[in-house]
Homo-oligomer: A and B are copies of this chain.
Amino acid sequence: MSSEPAPLLALDLTGTFAFGLNGALTAVRAARLDVVGVVVLGMITALGGGVIRDVLIDSLPPATLVDWRFYTLAAAGGLIAFALSKHLRRIGTAITVLDALGLSAFAVIGASKALQSGLGVAPAVLLGVITAVGGGTIRDTLVGQVPSVLRSGLYAIPALVGASVTVATIEWGVYGLPAALGAALTCFLIRMIGIRFSLNAPEPPETRERKADT
């Protein structure tokens, strides 16, 4: 069972369900899948990032496979997406907000677990980002798409900021529930602003020139 404080745990579980739901919905749209494919891709989206983190910090078996609440919520999200994908489109905004909450929780918890396992500051931030975006990256690759996190939108960058704030507050000795929630809120707000104003991370100069030519 997880030893996180209740508010963080609630965020973590909410995020797991949201990632399962949203991950499965994205998969339904991207490729023709059967029930196995939809549920598996929802579960991979929700659990994949944390599993990669736990493998790399040698905390095995992975926490999300030990605590039944995580894999059950991930599977529930996938099954609901399978049954109701058409209707869930209408509440797309609500799902996006839940997904951003998950991104924030995963970045903060991932970075703090990595730092506690003895990794340095920079690798801990990196593992926070991997926890947050790793599952979606595997899902996109499995359905034959270049992962959206590598292409456009602000998705990895809010996770990077949230993980950095987490690691900084731990290093300064001021980490605790308020700092964790502050780091998560920072990530959440950047993600929301990115969606609202359709912000993108910069592209290589070469790509920009190619676009200017056409």
User: Which residues of A are interface residues toward B (Cβ below 8 A)?
Assistant: 28, 31-38, 40-41, 51, 55-58, 60-62, 65-66, 68, 71-72, 82-83, 85-86, 117-120, 122-123, 126, 137, 141-147, 149-152, 156-157, 200-207, 209
Contacts and interface: CB of A to CB of B under 8 A. Distances in A.
Given A61-B56, A119-B66, A151-B37, A31 B71 contact: no
Nearest to A153: B34
25 contacts: A28-B207, A32-B151, A32-B207, A33-B150, A34-B200, A34-B203, A35-B204, A36-B149, A36-B156, A36-B201, A37-B147, A37-B149, A55-B56, A56-B60, A56-B61, A56-B65, A57-B61, A58-B60, A58-B61, A61-B118, A65-B119, A65-B123, A86-B209, A141-B142, A143-B146
Contact of A86 (B28, B151, B205): B205
Query: Across chains A and B, which 3 residue pairs bring their CB atoms closest together, nearest first?
Result: A37-B150, A58-B60, A34-B201
A137 B33 CA distance: 14
A68 B151 contact: no
A34 B157 CA distance: 11
A33 B203 contact: yes
Given A57-B61, A66-B123, A31 B151 contact: yes
A36 B141 CA distance: 17
